Amino acid sequence: MGPLTEPVLLILMSLADQPRHGYALIKDIEVLSGHRVRLSTGTLYGALRRLLDDGWIQRFEQDDTSRDKQAYRLTGEGRRQLEVEIERLKQLARAGSARLRMKEA
Amino acid sequence: MSRIFRALLHLYPQGYRNLLGAEMQAVFDRGARESRDLGPVAYVHFLLTELVGLVSGAVRARLAGPPITAEPVAGGLPEEVLEAQNRVAMNLNRLLYAISHHQFVEARRYSDEERTARLELRRVMEKYGLA
């Protein structure tokens, strides 16, 4: 599997601690990205649909009183894919840092 | 703008719209209210970003085809469908460019052409049983 796109990675990260509905995902991703990324509705739902098709997230109906009934949560496979991607990014950051240290030395 | 967004949702395949259309509309409406409160610059930026995201999302949704749970189309999408999709995307891009540059006469013309292209796309999608 290749690297995840940034919207997909951010959605998986946002769902890692709790389920969220569409608008809450957009707001949380703004915070997660340090206000660098605000996903448009089309981009968000394009990524959500792919993740649903791949079985990395599930859509379910919240039984609370909020106006946003449909919410999304990570599946076991989605969590595993997120862990793999974070490990890949860590490895990449370590390699990059090592190269920078070599140049400084 | 809510009505325009609802109309543009028709660019998406019907199955996609049935599943996610109402939710997308609700998310757009909340974002529009919030950005309008932040002032005209934030609102225009929001609208342009949303329009571009929606159009490119619709093109990707059409190219991706039905969800994997559905029967795949043998040999991918027919050439005629791909050409019609490209014409819709091209006209929408021109329409968005004209609106963002305040070229409203051209925008009206591109809007008419976009409508014709969308009808043609629907016709060829129905012809191949994809609508």
B30 touches chain A (CB under 8 A): yes
Which distant-in-sequence residues (6+ apart) come within 8 Å of B60 by Cβ? A46
B98: distance to nearest CA of chain A, Å? 21
% of chain B at pLDDT higher than 70: 86
Number of domains in chain A: 1
Of B27, B31, B57, the CB nearest to A46: B57
Handedness of CA B64, B86, B119, B123 (dihedral sign): negative
Q: How far apart are CA B58 and CA B10, in angstroms?
A: 9
Which of A11, A23, A27, A40 to probe the B interface (max B CBs under 10 A)? Answer: A40
Say if A1 falls within a structural domain. Answer: no
Of A40, A52, A67, the CB nearest to B54: A40
B110 touches chain A (CB under 8 A): no
Contact A82, A12 (CB under 8 A): yes
Residue of B nearest to A71 (CA): B23
Say if A58 falls within a structural domain. Answer: yes
Which of A28, A38, A39, A41 to probe the B interface (max B CBs under 10 A)? Answer: A41
Contact A11, A45 (CB under 8 A): no
pLDDT tier at B131, thresholds 50, 70, 90: low
Q: Which domain holds residue A12?
A: 6-104
Q: What is the pLDDT of residue A18?
A: 95
Q: How far apart are CA A25 and CA A11, in angstroms?
A: 7
Say if A40 falls within a structural domain. Answer: yes
* Tokens 């050409």 belong to residue: B83
pTM here?
A: 0.69
Whether the predicted interface score ipTM is above 0.85 = no
Q: What is the pLDDT of residue B67?
A: 55
Q: How far apart are CA B47 and CA B30, in angstroms?
A: 12
The torsion angles phi and psi of A64, rounded to 5 degrees, stand at: -100, -170
Say if A90 falls within a structural domain. Answer: yes
The pLDDT tens digits for B98-125 are 776 677 777 777 777 877 888 888 788 7
Binary contact (A45, B58; C-beta < 8 A)? no
Residue A12 belongs to domain with CATH number: 1.10.10.10
Handedness of CA B66, A72, A48, B40 (dihedral sign): positive
DSSP assignment, residue B10? Answer: G
The pLDDT tens digits for A2-22 are 788 999 999 999 999 999 999
Binary contact (A23, B26; C-beta < 8 A)? yes
Type of residue at B30: R
